[in-house]
């Protein structure tokens, strides 16, 4: 029995005074509020005009004695911002000014001025705004008379931009410092900039991405995403069960970038990207190595370095009721990535993946209290496979805090294919503290034997496994803190602390 504790500490400093996540980064720091829709029952009459369902035609003189409708027209839509104290006015009695452009918000709505009011469109618009990363809380109200409706949105924005500072010590690079910058509302249009730099005595690593989302009001303009990265870590495929001939662990370095275009069709978001990644396998001094202690190859090229030029396509449908800690809804993501045989390794393969998440509200405790951690079931199904030749370092590594909890990263399998099922029962404990009962199961479907060099087989990875346990979720000023105590089916105990929900 082995107990391992991993802790990630993050300190956040807000920038910008009072003014506060491309599809490929579908996966923020503050929870959404519960919110509500106040929708009294309508009783109305239109005596001097006519309307078509879903689209206002106009005003035409008619006989008031003969025409009566039970439909009202949306007269106006108002956007109001509130501060962290839920106030509409600042200390000078002036309306709170938000960073987000009001015209941009209205462009996202399906229900617009001049249209017949429909409750289903109003609910869908509210859900759409709550999924934006730049908003922490969105509520909607309406003012109405016998012939018209005014819709009022009250919005609390997240505290962007933010500066993230951190550091630590590990057995790979020693002491390191890390600084990150994030803004999910660049120019008030929800464009995103996310950058992190880590500096140590041995290495400099970075990861930066800018995303300008597709905007429905500009159908001829595509969204786009640009990313660059350089990172190094101990390899999850070639872990320390079998080391290099000099006794070092295998270090895995990745360097590259991507350029993508984004567009939306109804409720589906799509992305097409061209990507480049250079994968290098190295020892502790960062010297390139070709084989491990057993003489097994570490790369397709045989040099210790592989080049991956790929063209990827992904499609996703997000039907959550909010972005963070949703209470109901689902997310479906499907992707394919075709490797082009260019560069070291001359790699040609296709990587297929599917990811489905379903959130189901339940009332098993039955206290009915409104908290930051609503009672619910969350289910995650994942599946993937790679057709053709691929670097062994790019195998599907199963196990770890974002896979099967109770296992270390990559300790279950390094396979060509995989399937994963995770189920969580989330429940409130106090207002800002919630609990989770979870179980995870995954398998490589016997595909580890088809990976070059059979790294998973030689390291006696079981190929399938499950874990279960108990976790805590704490809402803090810098995001959701997650602590999970997992037990594997092989009796290993692990306690992991990180941020954000598992899914």
Tell me the pLDDT tens digit for each residue of 206-242: 999 999 999 888 888 999 999 999 999 899 999 888 9
- The whole-number average pLDDT for the span 482-494 is 95
Give the pLDDT confidence score for residue 267 in this predicted structure: 85
Residue matched to tokens 């805090």: 401
- Which CATH number does 50-157 carry? 3.10.20.310
- The pLDDT of residue 24 is above 50: no
Per-chain mean pLDDT for the chain? 86
Give the pLDDT confidence score for residue 496 in this predicted structure: 94
Q: Could you tell me which residues come within 8 angstroms of residue 488 by beta carbon, excluding any fewer than 6 positions away? A: 404, 406, 407, 465, 466, 467, 494
pLDDT-based confidence at 43, cuts 50/70/90?
A: very low
pLDDT-based confidence at 173, cuts 50/70/90?
A: confident
Pick among 3.30.365.10, 2.40.160.50, 2.70.98.40, 1.10.530.10: CATH of 3-30+159-499: 2.40.160.50
- The whole-number average pLDDT for the span 7-28 is 38
pLDDT-based confidence at 423, cuts 50/70/90?
A: very high
Contact 29, 319 (CB under 8 A): no
- The pLDDT of residue 460 is above 60: yes
- The pLDDT of residue 68 is above 50: no
Q: Is 458 helix (H, G, I), strand (E, B) or coil?
A: helix
Higher pLDDT residue, 167 or 64? 167
Contact 130, 16 (CB under 8 A): no
Ordered by start, the domain boundaries in the chain are 3-30+159-499, 50-157
Segments in 287-406 forming alpha helices (H): none
pLDDT-based confidence at 325, cuts 50/70/90?
A: confident
- The whole-number average pLDDT for the span 249-270 is 94
Q: Token pair of 294, please?
A: 């057993």
Higher pLDDT residue, 18 or 69? 69
Contact 291, 238 (CB under 8 A): no
- The pLDDT of residue 182 is above 90: yes
Could you tell me which of 172, 205, 392 has the C-alpha nearest to residue 285? 172
Contact 154, 95 (CB under 8 A): no
How do residues 346-399 score in pLDDT, each as one tens digit? 999 999 999 999 999 998 887 667 788 889 999 999 999 999 999 999 999 999
What is the value of pTM for the model shown?
Answer: 0.80
Give the pLDDT confidence score for residue 478 in this predicted structure: 75
- The whole-number average pLDDT for the span 176-185 is 95
- The pLDDT of residue 37 is above 90: no
Instruction: Name the least confident of 58-72, 240-254, 409-423, 446-460.
Output: 58-72
Give the pLDDT confidence score for residue 237 in this predicted structure: 95
Could you tell me which of 467, 465, 487, 475 has the C-alpha nearest to residue 433? 475
Give, for 362, the enclosing helix (H) or strand (E): none
Q: Is the peptide bond before 161 cis (omega within 30 degrees of 0)?
A: yes
The fraction of the chain above a pLDDT of 90, given in percent, is 71
- The whole-number average pLDDT for the span 298-326 is 94
Q: What is the 8-class DSSP label of residue 298?
A: S
Could you tell me which of 275, 394, 393, 397 has the C-alpha nearest to residue 338? 275
* Strands across the sheet containing 148-157: 73-82, 148-157, 135-144
Give the pLDDT confidence score for residue 47 in this predicted structure: 33
- The pLDDT of residue 126 is above 90: yes
- The pLDDT of residue 8 is above 60: no
Q: What DSSP line would sit under 19-87, residue for residue? A: ----GGG----SPPP---B--PPP-----S-EEETTEEEE-----TTT---S--EEEEEEEEEE-TTS-
Give the pLDDT confidence score for residue 218 in this predicted structure: 87
- The whole-number average pLDDT for the span 335-340 is 98
């Amino acid at each position: 029995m082995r107990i391992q504790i991993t802790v990630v500490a993050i300190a956040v400093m807000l920038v910008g005074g009072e003014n506060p996540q491309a599809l490929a980064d579908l996966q923020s720091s503050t929870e959404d509020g519960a919110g509500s829709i106040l929708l009294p029952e309508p009783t109305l009459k239109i005596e001097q005009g006519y309307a078509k369902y879903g689209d206002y035609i106009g005003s035409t003189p008619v006989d008031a004695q003969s025409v009566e409708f039970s439909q009202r027209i949306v007269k106006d839509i108002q956007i109001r911002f509130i501060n962290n104290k839920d106030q509409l006015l600042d200390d000078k009695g002036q309306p709170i000014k938000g960073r987000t452009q009001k015209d941009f918000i209205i462009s996202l709505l399906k229900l617009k001025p001049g249209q017949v009011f429909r409750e289903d469109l109003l609910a869908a618009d509210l859900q759409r705004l709550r999924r934006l990363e730049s908003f922490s809380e969105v509520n909607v109200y309406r003012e109405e008379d016998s012939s018209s409706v005014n819709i009022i949105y009250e919005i609390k924005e997240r505290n962007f931009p933010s500066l993230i500072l951190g550091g630590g010590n590990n057995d790979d690079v020693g002491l390191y410092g890390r600084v990150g910058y994030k803004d999910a509302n660049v120019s008030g249009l929800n464009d995103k900039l996310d950058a992190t730099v880590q500096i140590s005595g041995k290495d400099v690593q970075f990861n930066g991405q800018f995303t300008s989302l597709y905007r429905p009001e500009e159908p001829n303009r595509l969204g786009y995403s640009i990313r660059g990265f350089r990172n190094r870590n101990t390899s999850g495929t070639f872990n320390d069960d079998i080391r290099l001939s000099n006794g070092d662990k295998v270090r895995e370095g990745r360097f590259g970038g991507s350029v993508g275009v984004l567009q939306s069709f109804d409720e589906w978001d799509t992305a097409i990207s061209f990507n480049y990644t250079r994968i290098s396998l190295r020892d502790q001094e960062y010297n390139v190595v070709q084989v491990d202690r057993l003489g097994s190859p570490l790369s397709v090229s045989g040099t210790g370095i592989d080049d991956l030029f790929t063209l990827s396509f992904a499609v996703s449908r997000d039907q959550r009721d909010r972005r963070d800690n949703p209470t109901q809804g689902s997310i479906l993501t499907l992707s394919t990535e075709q490797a082009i045989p260019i560069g070291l390794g001359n790699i040609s393969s296709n990587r297929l993946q599917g990811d489905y998440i379903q959130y189901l509200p339940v009332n098993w405790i039955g206290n009915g209290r409104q908290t930051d951690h609503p009672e619910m079931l969350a289910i995650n199904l994942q599946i993937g496979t790679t057709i053709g030749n691929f670097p062994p370092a790019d195998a599907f590594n199963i196990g770890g805090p974002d896979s099967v909890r109770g296992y270390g990263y990559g300790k279950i399998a390094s396979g060509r294919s995989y399937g994963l099922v995770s189920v969580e029962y989330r429940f409130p404990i106090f207002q800002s503290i919630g609990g989770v009962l979870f179980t995870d199961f995954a398998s490589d479907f016997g595909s580890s034997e088809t990976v070059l060099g059979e790294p998973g087989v030689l390291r006696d990875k079981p190929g399938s496994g499950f874990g279960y346990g108990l976790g805590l979720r704490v809402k803090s000023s810098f995001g959701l803190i997650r602590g999970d105590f997992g037990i594997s089916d092989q009796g290993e105990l692990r306690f992991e602390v990180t941020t954000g929900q598992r899914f």
